[in-house]
Amino acid sequence: MLEKLIGYFAKRHILTNLIYVVVILGGIFAWQNTQKEEWPDITFDRIRVSVSYPGAPAEDVEFFVTKPIEEEIRGLDGVYRITSTSSVGQSNITVEIEQNYPEFKEAISEIRNSVLDVELPSEVIDDPDVRVFRSSKKAILDIALYFQGEHLLTTDKRQKLQQYALALENQLLNIPQVNSVNKNGYLKEEVQIKAYPDRLLKYEIPFSTVMSEIRNNNVRKPAGTIETAQEPKVTLSAELDTVSKLNDLIIQGGFEGQVIRLSQAADVTQGYEKNKEIIKINGHEGIMFSVVKNSSAGILVAMDEVTKVVDNFRKNSLEGSDVKVVLLDDESIDIRNRLSLISINGTIGFVLILITLFFFLNKRSGFWVAMGIPFTFCFAMLGSYMMGYTINGMTLSAVIIVMGIVVDDAIVVAENITRYLHQGMKSSTAVVKATSYVILPITASIVTTCVAFVPLFYFTGRYGRFIEYIPPIIFLMLGASLIESIFILPGHMDLHLPFTKKKNLSETADETPTEHWFEKVEQFYGDMLIKSLPFKWLIFGCFIIVLMVSGFIVTQKMKFVMFPNEETRDIVLTGEAAPDANRFDTANLSKKIEDILEPYLGKEVVGYRNEIARSRRGGAVEENKFRMIIEIVPKEKRKYSADQLVKIFDKDVQKIEGFKKLDFQKSRWGSSSGTPIELIVQQNDDELRAEVVRFIVDEMNASGLMENIEVDDGLRVPEYRIDIDREKVKRLSINPQDIASTFRAALEGSVLYEFTRGDEDVRVRFTIVDAAKDDINKVLDLPVENKGNYLVPLRDVVKVTETVSPNSIARRDLKRTTIIDAGIVKTKKKTPLDIAEYLEENVFPKVLTKYPSTTLSFGGEIQDTRESSGDFANAVVFVLVLIYVILAILFNSLLKPLIIMLAIPFGVVGIIIAFWLHGKTLYGFYACVGALGLAGVVINDAIIMLVKLDNEFTTQPGKSANEKIARISQTRLRAVLLTTLTTVAGVLPTAYGFAGYDATLAEMMLALTWGLIFGTAITLGLIPCVYSIGKK
């Protein structure tokens, strides 16, 4: 039946050529119309809730905001973990959803509604921000604006810069591809009313009266319409929306009293909201935009449109001004590089495959086999387009993985057809018979290759969400390859090359049974086997020794690290000035570092941003600390490696005096903290937790294995706790809420109302002058009004206690948490897993014995690595079992699959030796993915070899067993070598970065390349020996 179907397509050349052309055109259409993204479109299983509670200490934020929200959402279906940070004026809560939770959208909706239902303090003006992270709706570019030559912005310069920034933001938001623009360093405008307490006391005006007068006199309300034919509308418009209107406002007066205007009791000025953070770009304080694209827009299209707007803005709005616009953190660079890498390295690989095919096969066979590559690629593009996939880093990785593999089955078919033709068989018969003969082994090869990638669907963690997009593309390409080899290639093999003159088949040089040069090589290989097979046990023993040595190397000399990539695009410098330094002191001191980096701009450095007094993980702000991110150009465009640049920068920076600490680090892909060690200590008792942390840090320092140990715990800052004397309050008829509002207005300021100016809402904030709130005693002298309209000093009705409190509180699963970050001493050559095991064996038992109520765990890279390690272990077992079952069914034998599967461990030997010789003592996630794929690919040659041996061993009478095995094996030499060489040729340019280097892909391709080379050696040398042992 199958033979008839192959014959049907082989005879209908118009049909097969139409199918080929339609697939090619469909693939081109799909490529042009598919979005190009950095990563697949994934909605992450975590939600971020942010709430602003201005002026509130961390403990109040925890009590009034964080805890109520946590309690509200903790019992919802699908919630896996809740982590939070409560700092001064801010609560940040992260909710993790159970992985693969079936009702994910419903869970998100429930969490959002529950958060909005929580009753929060009245001072929380803005609604909680509930954000769901999605990979396709992400920041694609940072745009920085600053005044050239302005180290720190004055009020006038800030006002001008923010006008430019607002104009650019409006233009960006008009682009359909842009979803939103997040601003950093941009301060909201405020009208600030700062009262003089002594003047208010002189006029006997309480705070509450001033605030009420201002609120009540700000009037804007529609009143209705006049009942006439035209129905004119009536609107009360008496807004206090300018400084002059507020200054003229009468806050006390009447027929008998003295008229007092606001200007007599307060200063009214145009200002900006309070913010301790300073954002500097290339040595200048400025404003940073993060441009977030729409999920419906491809990253390349969005970037092109954004760049056009910025270029036009420079030309039309900034011409002749001192304002500079700088583009940083361009996320399209990676996808452009990968597309370029695919096209250039893919072209190199295709040419190498073509040369290999022409070298080993005749011209027609080589040409038509090579034409299978564009067919499979276009088929996969068309299929992925119909599935709604984007072209991204993961799908392109899949294409590179199988670029050389897709011709393997075509090579087997073409080589077998050529062999039949050389035996004198008619062409139309040969293409059908030869294809039918190998259809079973090539189908098995395709299936086992696909099986090797099936476990990628089931990897857990955030990285599992990305790599699950690799298998479908591989399945599409390999499926297309099988279809092309069985139904299209036979017909093409019955044709002539398009550029040759049509002749009778019997007259063509390709059909005449002349000897091919490679037949001598085959004969030599067969002769070598005849000589070596009598020593099969010795050969088998040698291979076992090699396997054992490799096992020793990988267990004793090599280490698994999640992401061992040595190159990076970002270098991070964290620094700390003296403890009493404010943000301006830190900015001035760090300017010396910026001056050192300035000569590198436009060369090795794209740009650098300095974040001073910025919170980390949503925690407390420390004004004496800064974090500088230095963006460097891609590896192939610079003279120095990232490590060399770190050494150069560090040498000059360490000469600067005045810093308490300076630490350079390369950014670590996949690590949120930027450090390899992230130890989480959970304990609700603050004093006990601090004691545990000190103990662990001492143990870490004593080990000599770790460096740059940082405790990410809030500083304990002075605090005045105010308690109300309820007896006096009752006796004096004072409303306790008036006491609270007076303190609030005096210190943080009370927002009385908002009005719209242009595109922005401007808040009107009432407080007291700065000189009146620099001492708690001055604040206590402020009066509060009782029901009899008498003014009573605050100190008469409150009790003040001096204490200290944390300025940041982290929680995990409703327990207070401290995180300890640490780096690893390079000279110790330890991995994060090594350090984790050391701490678990030597430190954790001591802690848990002494502090049993404490919970210790690891986060970040160690957690991800352990999850992935477990996934890999399960994946290896799954793949091996499934491959064995498929082979057992194919060969109807329990022993023969084991012979074939010998190629797998010895293919891994090739990876181990190759990595060792390349000096790669650390292997990572992508190397393991490459090794997993190798398990399915490396046995293809062994399947072809064993099927041939099984089918023809009994058809050669009069020969010894060893001679039969040798002569049959030599007929498979060309197919085995060709499939290996074409696969290697396809991935080799990427493995070594012939036309552009991608570190993650290079690691994967290096594993595939050398695993296949060594696995082929096993197929050619060990499989015949083991088969001979079995026959013996």
> What's the pLDDT tens digit per position in 855-900?
999 988 788 777 766 677 777 888 889 889 988 887 788 888 888 8
Structure tokens at 444: 């098995």
> What's the pLDDT tens digit per position in 254-312?
656 678 999 999 999 998 888 778 999 999 999 999 998 887 788 888 999 999 999 99
Beta carbons of 411 and 485 less than 8 angstroms apart: no
Mean pLDDT of the chain: 84
Q: Strands 798-806 and 808-812, how do they pair?
A: unpaired
Beta carbons of 369 and 492 less than 8 angstroms apart: no
Sign of CA dihedral 877, 878, 883, 889: positive
pLDDT surpassing 60 at residue 504: no
Beta carbons of 975 and 412 less than 8 angstroms apart: yes
Structure tokens at 987: 């991935």
pLDDT surpassing 70 at residue 511: no
Beta carbons of 943 and 408 less than 8 angstroms apart: no
pLDDT score of 968: 86
CA distances (Å), origin 1021, targets 528, 543, 884, 939: 10, 10, 21, 14
Half-sphere exposure of 291 (CA within 13 A, CB side): 34
For residues 344-368, average pLDDT? 76
For residues 652-657, average pLDDT? 89
**Helix or strand (DSSP H, E) at 470:** helix 470-483
pLDDT score of 509: 41
- Strand, helix or coil for residue 311: helix
Those residues whose C-beta lies under 8 Å from the C-beta of residue 780, and which sit 6 or more positions away, are: 793, 794, 795, 798, 800
pLDDT surpassing 90 at residue 926: no
Those residues whose C-beta lies under 8 Å from the C-beta of residue 367, and which sit 6 or more positions away, are: 357, 358, 497
Measure the CA–CA gap between 103 and 503, rounded to whole angstroms.
65
Give ∠ CA 1006-1008-1010 in degrees, rounded to 5.
Answer: 70
Beta carbons of 926 and 1003 less than 8 angstroms apart: yes
DSSP code, position 637: G
Per the DSSP assignment, residues forming a β-bridge with 601 are 605
Per the DSSP assignment, residues forming a β-bridge with 811 are 84, 816
Q: Any idea which residue has 């279906």 for tokens?
A: 77
Q: Strands 189-195 and 760-768, how do they pair?
A: parallel
pLDDT surpassing 60 at residue 497: no
For residues 644-664, average pLDDT? 88
Beta carbons of 817 and 810 less than 8 angstroms apart: yes
Those residues whose C-beta lies under 8 Å from the C-beta of residue 712, and which sit 6 or more positions away, are: 616, 617, 619, 810, 818, 819, 820, 821
pLDDT score of 502: 46
> What's the pLDDT tens digit per position in 42-90?
767 788 899 988 878 888 899 999 999 999 988 888 888 898 888 888 8
> What's the pLDDT tens digit per position in 605-625?
999 999 998 765 555 567 888
Q: Strands 559-560 and 922-923, how do they pair?
A: parallel
> What's the pLDDT tens digit per position in 222-263?
888 888 888 888 888 889 999 999 999 999 876 566 789 999
pLDDT score of 145: 95
Question: Phi then psi for 38, rounded to 5 degrees?
Answer: -75, -40
pLDDT score of 461: 66
Four-CA torsion 215, 216, 221, 224, nearest 10 degrees: 170
Domains of the chain, CATH where assigned? 1-37+332-497 (1.20.1640.10), 43-134 (3.30.70.1430), 189-223+232-272+717-806 (3.30.2090.10), 518-557+893-1032 (1.20.1640.10), 567-668 (3.30.70.1430)
> What's the pLDDT tens digit per position in 562-591?
665 556 788 889 888 888 888 899 999 999
Measure the CA–CA gap between 625 and 614, rounded to whole angstroms.
8
The structure's pTM equals: 0.74
Confidence band of 503 (pLDDT split at 50, 70, 90): very low
Q: Any idea which residue has 């060594």 for tokens?
A: 1014
Query: If you count them, how many residues does the chain have?
Result: 1032
pLDDT score of 995: 64
Four-CA torsion 33, 36, 39, 42, nearest 10 degrees: -40
Q: Which of 931, 1012, 980, 997 is nearest to 452 (CA)?
A: 931
